[in-house]
Amino acid sequence: MTPEALGPYNRRVRLVVEVRDDQDELELASGVFGAQGWGVRPARDGDSVTVDDGYAGLIVEVPVHGSRWTARSTAVEQLTTLAKRRKLDLWVRESKLIPPRPTETQTVYHVHRRVPADAGPVLRWLAEHWAAVGGLDVRHTLQLRGEYSDGQRERALAELGARNIGGPPFDPDAHDIRRAIGPRPEAGATQWRQDAGRVAVISAVVLVCVASGIVLGAFDTAWRFTALLVPAAVSWPTGAWMTSNAPRPKLVRLGCGLILAGSGTFAGWMWGRSEDTGLSGLLAGFGMTLGLGLTAFGLWYALSASWFSRNVQWFLPVLAAPLPFVLPWVGAFLHAVYLEDMFGIPADAVHVGFYWQYLVAMRPLAVAVLFLLGLIALAGWARHFNVQAPVSGFFRVSLVLAGLIAVLTVVQIALDDVEKAAGRAMAAAGAGHRPPGYFGLRAELVCVRPLGADTPVVNGPVPTAHPVLSFQPSGDTLWLWDPSSSRGDDTERHALRVRAEDVELVVAHGRRC
């Protein structure tokens, strides 16, 4: 059994384990560890492992998935926990994280078509610039180990001309090679250091340009255009650095710098034009961006190389199957709360399109999904740092409790939204305005004109001096809602029930009929 049987891993931890020097004990330990997919072998003379009297040394390699900071402690805990369950007499003498092999320097060559020899100066100039940005590529790439040199270039041309793996062959008269666009690699620097340097330079340029764009969009004076001097000044050195691994036309260098500096400046300008650019607004924006980034990484840590990622094709259909039945029920429930609990009108007395039941349930569903994604992201960070290994019981109980709290919070948010929407409608009716709709529930401000001398009204009498609310009726019975405060604080007692044949409704404008 290989380590892959346990699932993907990204860390390798090697342990020196002392086992009681007994043949049966050594065979049992080797079999138990090997059954987990771990690499096990006796300590050799070249390992220079010293053990206490009565013990023998084993070298065990444990694959771990997660952060490098907690990989060793997680591997030690997994091994010692397994040993306690199997009653093995051993202990871990040493643990070491095996670093990945350093990435070798490589040079990438792209094959492109040559500029025709009979091309005019303008066409040649355009073709050279187009080829420098990959416009004449024939989609053929060669990667060689080592840094670029004239000898390596000649070797690349010879290798391309001697081999054909399909498609049109490489023709030295019609084709040439160019290096990929990128910064010049630092001599003797590791890949990690080069990547960190690139990220640092690009981040600094973007932040400076975003700040200039914010200044440009936040102020209205003519002096704000001086902020463009900053991105203009950094465009050329940034473009030269981005294309420093190979000679490029000056226009290509300038264009690369302008793209990076211009995009950051434009983003800052939009931010400055649309958002509060004070200190509180900037901190809130950066905090939101940081939160989204942490959530995205947490979701990646939680879902990548997991049971979900391996069974997503079965899990998603099962999860989505109840939605066509759950959403209409939730929508009908919210509509009923709005009408019956807020206005005292039976839900079946008002006609609402069925599609509104789906739409009204979308918001609590979106809030529930956001809560769920937040919990999954939290679990992903815990998984990345292997928190669930030492405190798995506490972590699982906490996750379940957090899920219950999230469900209750979503329900409370949905009910508060219904109450606020009803409150806005009541306030608008009291002020003599047509209230806003609520997901298909449209209330009209109307004046009631009785058609007879005696009009039977439940919770009457029916007001004729001021307008009332009328929702779209369903059937021969009309339900009206009186916004007058004289009926008390219980809004359900403001509901009036009359027969449609006994009254005439006229659209009202203002607070008087």
Closest CA to 169 of 118, 108, 115, 111: 111
Is residue 418 within a helix (H) or strand (E), and if so which, with residue range? helix 392-430
Q: In what order do the strands lie in the sheet with 55-64?
A: 39-42, 55-64, 11-20, 90-98
CA dist 78 and 3 (Å) reads 14
Give pLDDT, residue 6: 54
In sequence order, the 6+-apart residues with CB closer than 8 A to the CB of 428 are: 434, 435, 436
- Helix axis angle, 191-218 to 250-274, nearest 10°: 50
Alpha carbon of residue 338 to chain centroid: 34
The DSSP secondary structure of 375-416, one letter per residue, reads HHHHHHHHHHTTTTTTTHHHHHHHHHHHHHHHHHHHHHHHHH
> What's the residue count for the chain?
513
SS3 70: coil
List residues bridging with 237 in a β-sheet: none
Number of neighbours of residue 429 by Cβ within 10 angstroms: 25
CA dist 66 and 37 (Å) reads 18
Structure tokens at 9: 């891993």
Q: In what order do the strands lie in the sheet with 137-145?
A: 137-145, 106-113, 175-179
Write down the H helix ranges in 431-473: none
Give pLDDT, residue 454: 74
Alpha carbon of residue 390 to chain centroid: 28
CA dist 213 and 265 (Å) reads 4
| pTM score | 0.55
CA dist 47 and 116 (Å) reads 63
3-state secondary structure 6-64: HCCCCEEEEEEEEEECCHHHHHHHHHHHHHCCCEEEECCHHHCCCCCCCEEEEEEEEEE
In sequence order, the 6+-apart residues with CB closer than 8 A to the CB of 417 are: 363
Give pLDDT, residue 304: 78
Give pLDDT, residue 58: 92
In sequence order, the 6+-apart residues with CB closer than 8 A to the CB of 292 are: none
Q: Please check whether residue 75 is in contact with residue 10, taking contact to mean a CB–CB distance below 8 angstroms.
A: no
Q: What are the CB-based long-range contacts (under 8 Å, 24+) for 346-350?
A: 346/479, 348/474, 349/471, 349/473, 349/474, 349/475, 349/477, 349/479, 350/441, 350/471, 350/472, 350/473, 350/474, 350/479
Q: Please check whether residue 478 is in contact with residue 498, taking contact to mean a CB–CB distance below 8 angstroms.
A: yes
Give pLDDT, residue 33: 93
Instruction: Going residue by residue through the chain, which has 513 residues, state the pLDDT in tens, using 9 for 90 and above.
Output: 344 445 678 889 999 999 998 999 999 999 999 999 899 999 888 888 888 888 999 999 999 888 888 889 889 988 999 999 999 989 899 999 998 877 777 888 999 898 887 888 888 888 888 888 888 888 888 999 888 888 989 999 999 988 888 888 888 888 889 888 888 776 656 666 777 777 888 888 888 888 888 888 877 788 888 888 888 888 998 888 888 888 888 888 888 888 888 888 888 888 777 755 555 666 676 777 788 888 888 888 887 777 777 776 777 777 777 778 888 888 888 888 888 888 888 887 888 878 888 888 888 888 888 888 888 888 888 877 777 655 556 666 776 777 788 778 888 888 888 888 888 888 888 888 888 888 888 888 888 888 877 777 777 777 777 888 888 776 677 888 888 877 777 777 788 888 877 777 888 777 777
